[in-house]
Structure 1
Amino acid sequence: MSAEQIKNIEDLIPLGDGKKIVNYKINRLTAPGENYGSLMLSVDITVKTSTGNEEIHAIAKAIPPSEFIQELFNVQVTFRNEIAFYKKIIPLLQDFQRQHGVKEVIDFVPKYYGSRLNLKGNEDKVDQDAVLLLENLKVANYDTLDRTRGFDLDAAKLIITDLAQFHAVPLALKLEKPEVFESEIKPFLIQWGPKGGPRDQFIKQVNDLIDDIDELKQFKEKILKTFDEDFTPSEPRETCATIVHNDCWVNNFLLKIENGKSVKSVMVDYQMCSYGSPARDIVFFLFSSVKEDVLKQYYDDLIKLYYQTFTSVLEELYCVTSFTFEALQEEINHEANLQFRHITFMLYPMFIPKAEVQDIADLNFKSMLNHKIPDAHKRKFTFVVNEFIKRNWI
């Protein structure tokens, strides 16, 4: 799929009788560096109805043109999984909430319009005609923030609350209806871990980064020891295993800001969802995407807010578990080492200088890592290392 055309767009959206697409315009949605796992386009559609014209403002998510990114994100699996998340899993979770009398169901996902894997109408292969069509939230005044700055306290509270609901609702469903979870949700949850990319090159970059930061040289052996293992997570511990997003960084959250304050958050990019500990998302989100001064002062408060929301959602769904606050802290301690490697890797694309950002069509592993490391990257990495050592996570 190109930036000029979406073939058979009329087949993507079920419009109903008497409605017809009469025009549409397509533009590139994201600038280089804002999205790495897919090609994002804005699609403005004019629909003729019996009473006049309607406008649909959507985004089209297509597979990236780069073979490197296709392999890294395993698009043959993850693209179809993301379609299933919007088309099947979210409605299933919302219906489960309504069955328990919940009025304010999950609402931190964009509206789903339609999708396809190819133009052949089969399930064989995800190809260049694959597309996922979703609501364009930027029209409703949602936007991403500067990925190098991170979220303030208001935004962090909104997102950590949404994450707690995102984790708790499927957990309750799993415990009450395990057969439904196994048949309707589990097949679309991957064994998380990026594919491809020379690991030795990444470790060399980290080694060089440490050598360039005097404060961290004393911790060099401790830091590099964490990379003795790869990114593959350990087997999930069933006590609290649930759906995990796995990619909770700044660019995957859109915020609505009113009078300078974040009032609503929406989470996107569900292609990497897996089955595992909610602590994976908690640690990665907080230490990759929240401002350092906020974490220093409010880390404990944010963890408590997560736990309070998590348990209240379970109670709302009549789900009784023995998952204590101490158990959550244990999960965080258990998952933090892997997330240190995840965060360390993500800091490279997060802080890549804008002048050096490659278009997604030209992106490769070398271009993601081999660039001049800005001071903001060094400060963030130093902060993460010190916080993880302080908590005995590495």
Structure 2
Amino acid sequence: MMGEPQIKNLEEIIGKLLLSNEIIKKTEIVNLLEPGENYLSEMTKIQVSVKNTVTQAEREIYAIGKCVAKPPPNGSDFLKDFSPFLFTKEMMFYKEVVPAIQTFLKNRGASPVDYFPEFYGGRLNLSGGSKADEDAVLLLENLHTSGYQNMQRHEGFDFDAAKTILKDLAHFHAVPVAMKLLEPELFQETIKKICDIKPPPPAKKPEGKPDGPPALAKEVLVAILEEDEKCVPAIPSFLEILEEQRSISFEEMLNMKQREPFATMAHMDMWLNNTMQKLDHKNRPIKNKFVDFQVLSYASPAIDLLFLLITSVQTSVLETHFDYLLEYYHDNFTKVLRELGCDLAPFSYENFLEEVKAVIPVSIVHGSSFSLIIVFGKKGVAADPTQADKMGKDDLDPKAREKFRFIVHEAYKRGWMPQS
């Protein structure tokens, strides 16, 4: 049973939203999500009743409060070390990067982006310092009150929902690329600045231990692939990229050189729970919002694209429409570049597929692990990825295992993995 959430001195932030002669009558705060639905932060739903002391008119302010995550009781220091850093980065995104993007688009005669929630304000702590602590809070528009909702993570996106999200994702990636090409100084001062902020290194582990969080045992992953005989030929290739990816140190990962010209501001956590959709009367998605900008990095757009497909799109949709979805994303990506006045020659579909192939190793290893552990983790239970090495095959959801087999087989079949 979760206790009632508390946010100290909330009125100081809410007060900036009040109009002349308005006062706060009442504030209600409740938990927004069950444990396990957002493992990098804690979310609260805030309703503030406001009254005008002159006209006596009353209104409600609906917001989402985002706070630094508290690590599971028996977990490692992974969340404790990283959550404050991630929170600080997201605050910068809303305060500095979003306004820069909107200004850039306005100056180019383009429409503003509308796939971010409105930023109401926030703080890193109560002392005015530069590091986020347990009193940090970020206030955003409550998208639920505007008709947006999260899809069920165990179900995944259908074809129509996937298209809606990919169109916005292509725009999200293309605008920073256009800014890089057309207004490089603005790009460096905003997009590149936030992407270049690196987290502190993890605590030193005992000699011989990896410096990252524990991972699923390779024997477990092999056992999943062996459940379908058509995946068996891909196992040596998969083990090769698994060993390669797990041998990359934290420092090497942070300083990895990115491929140009596609490199952009990547979300790096682009999965179902970090998007919200508004549906029409037939339950078809008509609008989309992206949330959770905690781990933004300068990276290939294909990382976000593949992570979304691997973790969040129904396997049956990928089996039927995988090529179409890749082409659909690329068409929308180049459309934005064209409208903003960029040269499209370097961004051909053939070059784009090379981007996809280049990030397949990291996408398969990390995307599939995330899908197996987090996306298809048990509902109502706080996920702790640091306990992954204790999990067996039967601890993992059958749908997640099916998705993992499909991705490995598909990548191997297309020659995107080492061929034996």
TM-score strictly above 0.5: yes
Q: Choose 363-372 or 335-344, whichever is displaced more.
A: 363-372
Q: Is the 8 A contact 1:154 1:261 kept in 2?
A: yes
Q: Which amino acid in the other structure matches residue 154 of structure 2?
A: T
Q: Choose 218-227 or 61-70, whichever is displaced more.
A: 61-70
Q: Which amino acid in the other structure matches residue 313 of structure 1?
A: V
**CA positional deviation for 1:45:** 1.1
Q: Is the 8 A contact 2:38 2:273 kept in 1?
A: yes
Q: Which amino acid in the other structure matches residue 352 of structure 2?
A: L
Which residue in the other structure is 1:219 paired with?
234
What percent of counterpart residues are identical? 35
Which residue in the other structure is 2:119 paired with?
112
**CA positional deviation for 1:70:** 6.7
> Would you say 1:163 and 2:169 are equivalent positions?
yes
Q: 1:178 to 1:3 in 2, by over 3 A?
A: farther
SS in 1 for 2:58: strand
SS in 1 for 2:60: strand
Q: Is the 8 A contact 1:37 1:69 kept in 2?
A: no
Matches within 5 A, 1:1-394: 3-13=4-14, 14-15=16-17, 16-49=19-52, 50-51=54-55, 52-66=57-71, 71-72=78-79, 74-103=82-111, 105-123=112-130, 125-189=131-195, 190=197, 197-199=212-214, 202-210=217-225, 216-228=231-243, 229-230=245-246, 232=253, 234-258=256-280, 259-322=282-345, 323-347=347-371, 348-354=373-379, 358-359=381-382, 363=384, 365-366=386-387, 370=391, 372-394=395-417
Q: Is the 8 A contact 1:40 1:62 kept in 2?
A: yes
Q: Choose 217-226 or 275-284, whichever is displaced more.
A: 217-226
**CA positional deviation for 1:47:** 2.1
Q: 1:324 to 1:69 in 2, by over 3 A?
A: farther
**CA positional deviation for 1:3:** 4.1
Number of residues of Structure 1 aligned to a counterpart in Structure 2: 387
Q: Choose 331-340 or 317-326, whichever is displaced more.
A: 317-326
Q: What residue ranges of structure 1 are gaps of 5+ in the alignment? A: none
Distance 2:258 2:126 in 1: 37
Q: Is the 8 A contact 1:205 1:369 kept in 2?
A: no
Q: Is the 8 A contact 1:257 1:264 kept in 2?
A: yes
Q: 1:368 to 1:43 in 2, by over 3 A?
A: farther
Q: Is the 8 A contact 1:213 1:378 kept in 2?
A: no
SS in 2 for 1:22: strand
* Runs of 4+ in structure 1 over 6 Å off: none
Q: Which amino acid in the other structure matches residue 61 of structure 1?
A: K
Q: Is the 8 A contact 1:142 1:257 kept in 2?
A: yes
SS in 1 for 2:190: helix
1:66-95 Cα shifts (integer Å, max 9, x gaps): 175873572232211111111211121011
Distance 2:201 2:289 in 1: 24
Q: Is the 8 A contact 1:100 1:316 kept in 2?
A: no
Q: Choose 224-233 or 148-157, whichever is displaced more.
A: 224-233
- TM-score, length of structure 2 as denominator length: 0.85
* Coordinate RMSD, CA, aligned: 2.5
Q: 1:165 to 1:70 in 2, by over 3 A?
A: farther
**CA positional deviation for 1:338:** 0.9
Q: Which amino acid in the other structure matches residue 186 of structure 2?
A: V
